[in-house]
Amino acid sequence: MSSLLLFSCAQQAPNLSLSSILESGVLKVGSIYGRTTYYNGPTQAEGFEYELAQGFAEYLGVRLEVYPYYSYGELIPQLDNKRVDLIAANITMTEARKDRYRFGPAYQNVNFELVYRKGKNRPRSIEDIDGDLTIVANDLYREPLSTLVEEEQPAFWQETAEKDIEELLEMVSNDELDYTISDSNILAVARRRYPNLGIGFSVTDTLQIAWLLNKDTDDSLRAALIEYFGYLQTSGKLSALEDKYFGHIQSFDFVDTRAFMRAVEKTLPDYRDLFKAYAGDNDWRLLAAMSYQESHWDPMAVSPTGVRGLMMLTRATAKDMKVTSRHDAEQSISGGARYFSSLLRRIPARIQEPDRIWMALAAYNVGLGHLEDARRLTQRLGGNPDLWVDVKKHLPLLRQKKYYKTTRYGYARGNEAVNYVANIRRYYDTLVWLEGQKDATQLEEVPVIEGDEATSHSPSDDNEKGEISTAEPQNSP
């Protein structure tokens, strides 16, 4: 990258260029609030697009400023007026946009899907639509539908600027709206919350996603983006980031998801306080998700191999954890939590979050020795043994004699460990959302204090954008 930086700094810097970013020491990125783009997590900013942008800023050695907006209508003018250097917001590369803007290199593929509520007649084409189709009022959602009608033909859909795509998907799930359009990434996440969302048909062929640049952006910034995404590809970091946000949601089981959500409502209340009490430094919701995967929260569960209880402890593990009755719910949760924590401590310190959590989960299922065999095998076959996205590709090889005969601990059902981790990640995500909904409902029920002590605040009180440095929205860049 050094030759690129020296070359760019020697040139006359246009308004949007790599050299102007390096001279200012700041990369300004526009984005949209959303789970796949940018949002304020419990302790810091999160989101797939945010982490990509943070990585690019670190790659350039500059500070990142993110300006998130609530709508594309507010965001796009910031790029048009050169107030941000680029937009990272899940934007698809269409011919119409290519005429008006420049794009960085493509890094993901999506389809736009027509979404309906399961249990109703599935529409398999535009002609089958019988009801209200409402989309988010911006070009990202309008363009796919516009290609399906003649130039003079009136639109057969409604548009709203008051709701985002997640709200529209919730409305379809609640039978308050017949249809909407969603990209496949957002829909995959939403179906973990609303399992009755169905896919009617694909509105578009596969589209590529890339960062959006102003037409006046010079070649130096785009060249840096090409280098950066090339580095992400070859280092495996892009695959690891995709796995973090999307790797566990690509497969979807309607029956399993509905059953889990019913169990959260009816069974989890019996054990919620125990999970909270014994989680220690771990997220109690992760512990609960593990227990559901192990036993479906049945304290009397017994497997054909003899493991028992809510956390499905082996006799040896129960003895090590001083558990005298594996069918006792409190002892099982306490023992399982302490055993999981011990596995986490034994994962090499250089392995970063969340990979070390996924590997500890795999070790809980298949054993730490077999996990280490898979990590060594991953390295031997050219992968990164410290990235879960690489290790999970090689765990299933422990079932094949040509591989397991070369390992220390031999044969293992590594494919089951991979599925085990993926299921827990899905349960965990769904539980986090369900508990968040529960907390929000409880907050709404708190009586409002009247008088001088009462204060109120909502997003509408602020400008529609914000920098990552504070939780409160800031002024425009």
The hierarchical CATH code for the domain 254-426 is: 1.10.530.10
- Whether the upstream peptide bond of residue 354 has omega within 30° of 0, thus cis, is yes
The hierarchical CATH code for the domain 112-205 is: 3.40.190.10
Alpha-carbon 271 to chain mean position? 27
Contact (CB, 8 A) for 98 and 208: no
Catalytic residue flag (residue 294): yes
Contact (CB, 8 A) for 44 and 38: no
Same fold for the domain at 2-106+211-243 and the one at 112-205?
yes
pLDDT of residue 452: 36
pLDDT of residue 444: 54
DSSP 3-state assignment of 213? strand
DSSP 3-state assignment of 38? strand
CA distance 169 to 88: 23
- The residue type of 359 is M
Q: Concatenated DSSP letters for 376-412?
A: HHHHHTTS-TT-HHHHHHHGGGGGSHHHHTTSSS---
Burial 293-304 (b: 16+ CB within 10 A, else e): bbbebbbebeee
Distances (CA, A) of 120 to 113, 141, 172, 198, 272: 16, 23, 11, 9, 35
> 363-390: per-residue pLDDT in tens?
999 999 999 999 999 999 999 999 999 9
Q: Are strands 26-32 and 63-69 parallel, antiparallel or unpaired?
A: parallel
Specify whether domain 2-106+211-243 bears CATH 3.40.366.10.
no
pLDDT of residue 247: 67
pLDDT of residue 464: 39
pTM as predicted: 0.64
Residue of 170, 294, 353, 435 marked active site: 294
Contact (CB, 8 A) for 307 and 285: no
pLDDT of residue 441: 60
pLDDT of residue 475: 36
Contact (CB, 8 A) for 71 and 464: yes
Instruction: Please list, in sequence order, all residues whose beta carbon lies within 8 angstroms of the beta carbon of residue 203, skipping any fewer than 6 positions away.
Output: 111, 112, 113, 114, 144, 145, 148, 181
Write down the domain spans for the chain.
2-106+211-243, 112-205, 254-426
pLDDT in tens, the chain (477 residues): 434 443 344 444 346 799 999 999 999 999 998 878 998 876 788 889 999 999 999 999 999 999 999 888 889 999 999 999 999 999 999 888 999 999 999 999 989 999 999 999 999 998 899 999 999 988 888 888 887 777 667 888 999 988 889 889 999 999 999 999 998 888 988 887 888 999 999 998 889 999 999 999 989 999 999 999 999 999 888 988 888 887 655 565 667 788 888 899 999 999 999 999 999 999 999 999 999 999 999 999 998 778 999 999 999 999 999 999 999 999 999 999 999 999 999 999 999 999 999 999 999 999 999 999 999 999 999 999 999 999 999 999 998 989 988 999 998 989 999 989 999 998 998 899 888 877 666 545 544 433 333 332 233 333 334 444 333 333 344
pLDDT of residue 337: 97
pLDDT of residue 226: 96
CB-CB neighbours of 312 under 10 Å = 24
Alpha-carbon 377 to chain mean position? 28
